Chain A
């Protein structure tokens, strides 16, 4: 079955540091890939997505590139801010088998950014 593996946290960084959160996936078909963010006390928000190989999703200074050859979708940001402190989830939807509506999530990575 489909699965998503992301680096375990927590991750603690100083403001303006470079961020990478690794995400790899296993899928039977050709998935779409997503990063969601959950700020404290809030629901999940879509951060960025990519639907085909070599696509780069970007939003709010975050980027992730769909790498089919390494089955990866690592999240990066060049300079994090305190306001980026949240839990980040990597997810996929598999367009094969007619279940493209269903998201399979990684376990989440807690990021804390200190001033």
Chain B
């Protein structure tokens, strides 16, 4: 596609529920990244995919967070048993090669109530 597409753009969920956030990167971009943007913490790296594998998951805050990527394309970030501190904007980005300038999506604003 022309840009990085994320869905949903907004998600309100009850504490304890599971959520799935979707990212559709630019066609042909082999690298995909998830970041989290919150008021207190700024922008935090979560996970990096090269193709379908994730060589760096070091930023995932807990084992409630997981992500996968299939077909070298779409990625899903799953948060299980959501907590209020998970409320943030989750940003996905892709690049043709490692860090030749990411293209970010518009993000998913997650609110846990």
Contact = CB atoms under 8 A, between A and B. Distances in A.
B75 to A, nearest CB: 15
B99 A101 contact: yes
Interface string B28-70: 0001010100000011010010100000100000000000000
B91 A101 contact: no
Given A43-B91, A89-B43, A102 B56 contact: yes
Interface string B102-113: 111111000000
Contacts of B31: 101
**How many B residues are at the interface, by size bracket?**
20 to 34
B101 interface: yes
Contact of B102 (A42, A46, A100): A46
A59 B13 CA distance: 40
Interface in A64-115: 89, 93, 99-108
B69 to A, nearest CB: 14
Given A43-B4, A43-B106, A43-B107, A100 B101 contact: no
Interface in A32-55: 32, 34, 36, 41-46, 49
A33 B4 CA distance: 22
A41 B35 CA distance: 17
Contacts of A103: 33, 35, 43, 45, 99, 102
Contact of A46 (B91, B101, B106, B107): B101
A32 B4 CA distance: 23
Contact of A102 (B45, B104, B107): B45
B99 A93 contact: yes
Contacts of A43: 4, 91, 104-107
Interface of B: 4, 31, 33, 35, 42-43, 45, 48, 50, 56, 91, 93, 95, 98-99, 101-107
Interface of A: 32, 34, 36, 41-46, 49, 89, 93, 99-108
6 contacts: A43-B107, A89-B43, A101-B99, A102-B56, A102-B99, A103-B99
